[in-house]
Structure 1
Amino acid sequence: MVVALDGFLDAGNAGAIACRHLAAEGADGVVVATFDVDQLHDYRARRPPMSFVRDHYEAYDAPRLVVRLLRDTGGTPYLLLHGPEPDTRWEAFCRGVREVVERFSVALVVGMGSVPMAVPHTRPIAITHHANNVELLTGTSPWQGELRIPSSAQALLEVRLGEWGHDALGFVAHVPHYVAQLDYPRASLALLEQVELAARLTIDLTELGTLAEEREEEIGRYLAANSEVGDVVAALEQQYDAFARAEESGSSLLAEDQPLPTGEEIGQQFEQFLAGLERPDETGGAG
């Protein structure tokens, strides 16, 4: 079963885009389980959209948290759990997922997520691997020691499934923080490539790859027309490469003599960056 919940761990809408791609490739599939969203969703914190047409309300987009039965390109069946992350009753949600796992004899649960990081879009997407069983890990983690982080329903689910004897692992894509508020299909592509390997599924990623290339070209055009933002990206590239060299040599990750921008400089430049991508400009930047 593949899991991707909208909300906390979804920088660049990577998980949501990946889910839409899976649903489209699997002809949407049939819904085999649903959750009572009224017991899980904070409507005032995340107000669902609806339409007002001339003189009346219509087209209310009610939030749905569902499990679909899909098939990959080779006909292998799998489940997809997707929808908004529960705002409340996380333990009850985990018990509900456990019921689905046991009823459908799910052998492996694979989670997808993404977080904003100070990395350049011109380098490979880094992936953090995690699992409730060390034998499931398909890659090494760059993190050393312990990190205290905000929890999520999806992370708690992995912990609880491990306590109940069910295997679960996941992948978190590192999305450049300056595009974290935009759709970033390149991260979705990286996540689904990991899902293919871990779950032994075959997924047609051609369309998603095309979308990723189009977004990269759009970002490249904007950077070419805005040298100040390009300078900040270049500094991130230097930082990324310095870390990569340090890891390869086994030396300290603290690189010396690397000119890096201040937090204030990054914030100012990327506010302009996001604004430029959201509307056309005179230099031919993308909308």
Structure 2
Amino acid sequence: MREPSELYELNPDIDRVPEGLHLVAGLTGFADAGSGVTQFSSHLLSTLEHTDVATFDADILLDYRARRPTIYFDQDHLSDYQPATLKLYLAYDELHQPFLLLTGFEPDFQWERFTAAVLELLDRYKVKSATWVHSIPMPVPHTRPIGLTVSGNRAELIESMSVWRPHTQVPSNALHLLEYRMQQLGYPIAGFVLLIPHYLADTEYPAAAITALESIGAATGLIFPTDSLRQQDRDFIANIDEQVAANGELGRLVGTLEERHDAYMADSPIHSPLTDVDGELPSADEIAAELENFLAFRRHGDDETGTAR
């Protein structure tokens, strides 16, 4: 394997990165239900002070044909090219506590080399722990708090926060591999998987970002601003509830999800929150059909009348 350090370039203008910080990570590109990771990352970068520490080489790690960058066409010429980025930042929370933030695109290529490069940076800055977020669609109701599956080697977080602990094979992402290698080396590591209502998987669901921020805070002691997200979530939920109240069939489907969720959380004989004892559940398509117009909703999108929110 070629030198991992060739995958990134350190910022020569940064004076010093404190040792012993927490690493927080979230990469986009795979199964980002509710845009949880996208919102989480963009919120941190837009609200917190941060400085580049290391920039990874997109030309080596990214498949441009699969995830094409955008460029603005301005009447008769091209401008404002926006390439995908993957960076390690030094950031500061609301109390000005420093931490390292790894965010951007998930690498398409060279996962082992990328993982080795991140481990190299962890060693360089003597990182205290690593925590990362991911979000997947699940048949759960939006009327209940977002649940988590917690992985890693921090038993106290798994015991107190993980509501679903399956025995299953799952498609991995690059941070799964990083977690696996960190476990092998004895680094403290925790992965938070957000369990997002499957009928909201294609929306920007503000509660997903809030849960991600709260989970990272619980694992690290970092404090993040969430007021704007909470207002967005109140508006978002009010819109959903209006849709549910106006459609009896949709209300019954959500009610069924609530019953199964509550039974599972009460340690009922139901072995999984995904299905009832007969293995039946409302499909994503059934609910999505009722929410077709709503699923086009974005945090800064239009309502049904075309009026900007």
TM-score normalised by length of structure 1: 0.88
Matched residues, percent identical? 35
Give the secondary structure class of the aligned counterpart of 1:220.
Answer: helix
1:101-127 per-residue CA deviation (whole Å, 9 max, x = no partner) reads 111221011001111000010011101
For residues 234 and 135 of structure 1, do their structure 2 counterparts lie closer, same or farther at Cα, with a shift above 3 Å needed?
closer
Check the 8 A contact 1:277/1:285 in 2, yes or no: no
How far apart, CA to CA, are the structure 1 residues paired with 2:237 and 2:62? 34
What residue number does 1:116 align with? 137
Map 1:66-77 onto structure 2 (within 5 A). Answer: 66-77=87-98
> Please, what is the CA RMSD of the aligned residues?
2.6
| Correspondence 1:65 to 2:86 | yes
What residue number does 2:30 align with? 8
What residue number does 1:210 align with? 231
What residue number does 1:227 align with? 248
For residues 256 and 208 of structure 1, do their structure 2 counterparts lie closer, same or farther at Cα, with a shift above 3 Å needed?
closer
CA shift at 1:259, angstroms?
11
The total of aligned residue pairs comes to 280
Give the secondary structure class of the aligned counterpart of 2:291.
Answer: helix
Which residue, out of 138, 160, 184, partners 1:163? 184
Map 1:275-286 onto structure 2 (within 5 A). Answer: 275-278=293-296, 280-281=303-304
Check the 8 A contact 2:270/2:277 in 1, yes or no: no
1:165-213 per-residue CA deviation (whole Å, 9 max, x = no partner) reads 3221111111001111110110111111111111111222222211211
What residue number does 2:204 align with? 183
Which sits farther off after the overlay, 180-189 or 209-218? 209-218
Which residue, out of 106, 117, 123, partners 1:85? 106
Letter in 1 for 2:108: D
How far apart, CA to CA, are the structure 2 residues paired with 1:243 and 1:136? 20
CA shift at 1:135, angstroms?
5.7
What residue number does 1:253 align with? 271
Give the secondary structure class of the aligned counterpart of 2:96.
Answer: coil
Question: Could you list the runs of 5+ residues in structure 1 that have no partner in the other structure?
Answer: none
TM-score normalised by length of structure 2: 0.82
Letter in 2 for 1:92: R
CA shift at 1:258, angstroms?
9.0
Which sits farther off after the overlay, 95-104 or 219-228? 219-228
Give the secondary structure class of the aligned counterpart of 1:234.
Answer: helix
How far apart, CA to CA, are the structure 2 residues paired with 1:286 and 1:54? 25
Give the secondary structure class of the aligned counterpart of 2:294.
Answer: helix
